[in-house]
């Protein structure tokens, strides 16, 4: 589902350069649940952003569901991202001027779906994360855990094959974090979604079928199948 071949990402910083990723080769199969772990600054977020097509590698190849992302135009990348990838962030990134329902609807509006279909799918999405009763709330009226569940509904509402999550429990207490991990687990188990999660949390790592250890932009160790 995701394949990286000798991927490097280098940020020029004046005379020096930051090697965020340095020759990463990795394949993630359809339906896998992978945890990316490693010390702060090792390249986890950079790697997720490349998989999401939010960012481009300095060199190397990035493949997602049979398409080579590093060669696509910005427009094609945006389209592919909207249909195939759902992204969840540490700080939720809900739009503060939209209700929970409207936040979840946003990707479908961008995809140009019909109103009826949008309403149905949004309803299902909110149901899936157990927040039907909070649909008309603004983000600031929701707890952190609820905001993150809305963000998960938004990430999955378009039916992406891949869900990428960057420290999704990093800003939550253990109960709310556990609920978020339960949801990701469910997506993986019941819907066969491919999940890649960057995390510092032991609890999150326990859920994963495979753990990828990064250090200084390189893969240190591969565990599991
Ligand atoms: N836009 C940027 N410009 C310059 N350097 C960057 C940029 N983004 C990331 N880096 C550098 O690349 C390296 C990897 O950063 P990244 O954010 O991927 O780490 P991380 O593993 O996600 O860390 P954390 O656990 O703290 O989130 C770091 O050294 C960082 O300073
Ligand atoms: Mg990060």
Examine the pLDDT at 84 and tell me if it is beyond 90. yes
> Which ligand sits nearest to residue 201's alpha carbon?
1
The total of structural domains in the chain comes to 1
Is 67 part of a structural domain of the chain? no
CA–CA gap between residue 41 and residue 221 (Å, rounded): 17
Is 104 part of a structural domain of the chain? yes
Is 62 part of a structural domain of the chain? no
* Joined tokens for residue 101: 């329902």
Please report the pLDDT score of residue 82 as a whole number: 86
C-alpha angle with apex 147: 171 to 75, nearest 5 degrees?
95
CATH code, 162: 3.40.50.300
Q: 10 Å Cβ neighbour count for 141?
A: 12
Best of 45, 165, 212 for a ligand 1 pocket test (most atoms within 8 Å of beta carbon): 45
Query: pTM (2 decimals)?
Result: 0.93
CA–CA gap between residue 88 and residue 186 (Å, rounded): 15
Q: Give per-residue pLDDT as tens, 30-56.
A: 999 999 999 999 999 999 999 999 999
Please report the pLDDT score of residue 206 as a whole number: 93
Residue 43: CB within 6 Å of ligand 1? yes
Examine the pLDDT at 221 and tell me if it is beyond 90. no
Is 24 part of a structural domain of the chain? no
Burial zone of 53 (CB within 10 Å; 0-12 exposed, 13-18 middle, 19+ buried): buried
- What is the atom index within ligand 1 of the atom nearest the CA of 46? 18
Is 121 part of a structural domain of the chain? yes
- Are 152 and 131 in contact by the 8 Å Cβ rule? The answer is no
Nearest CA to ligand 1 atom 8: 46
Best of 18, 48, 164 for a ligand 1 pocket test (most atoms within 8 Å of beta carbon): 18
Is 11 part of a structural domain of the chain? no
Domain housing 120: 31-53+74-223
> Which ligand sits nearest to residue 17's alpha carbon?
1
Is 2 part of a structural domain of the chain? no
Is 89 part of a structural domain of the chain? yes
3-state secondary structure 56-71: CCCEEEEEECCEEHHH
Radius of gyration for the alpha carbons in the chain, expressed in angstroms and rounded: 17
Kindly report the average pLDDT of the chain as a whole number.
Answer: 93
DSSP character at residue 219: E
3-state secondary structure 150-216: HHHHHHHCCCCCEEEEECCCCCCCHHHHHHHHHHHHHHHHHHCCEEEEECCCHHHHHHCCEEEEEEC
Q: Give per-residue pLDDT as tens, 68-82.
A: 999 999 999 998 888
Measured CA to CA in angstroms, residue 212 lies from 14, 51, 98 at distances of 31, 14, 36
């Amino acid at each position: 589902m995701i394949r990286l071949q000798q991927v490097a990402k280098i940020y020029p910083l004046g005379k020096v350069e930051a090697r965020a990723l340095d020759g990463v080769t990795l394949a993630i199969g359809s339906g896998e649940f992978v945890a990316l772990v490693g010390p702060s600054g090792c390249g986890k977020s950079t790697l997720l952003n490349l998989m999401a097509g939010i960012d481009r590698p300095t060199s190397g190849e990035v493949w997602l569901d049979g398409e080579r992302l590093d060669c696509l135009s910005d427009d094609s990348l945006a389209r592919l991202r909207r249909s195939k990838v759902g992204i969840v962030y540490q700080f939720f990134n809900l739009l503060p001027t939209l209700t929970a329902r409207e936040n979840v609807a946003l990707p479908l509006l961008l995809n140009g779906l019909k109103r009826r279909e949008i309403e149905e799918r949004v309803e299902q999405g909110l149901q899936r994360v157990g927040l039907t009763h909070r649909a008309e709330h603004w983000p600031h009226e929701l707890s952190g855990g609820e905001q993150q569940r809305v963000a998960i509904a938004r990430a999955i509402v378009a039916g992406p094959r891949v869900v990428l999550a960057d420290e999704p429990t990093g800003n939550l207490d253990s109960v709310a974090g556990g609920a978020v991990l339960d949801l990701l687990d469910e997506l993986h188990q019941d819907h066969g979604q491919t999940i890649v999660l960057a995390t510092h949390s032991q609890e999150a790592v326990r859920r994963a079928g495979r753990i990828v250890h990064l250090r200084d932009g390189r893969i240190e160790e591969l565990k599991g199948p």
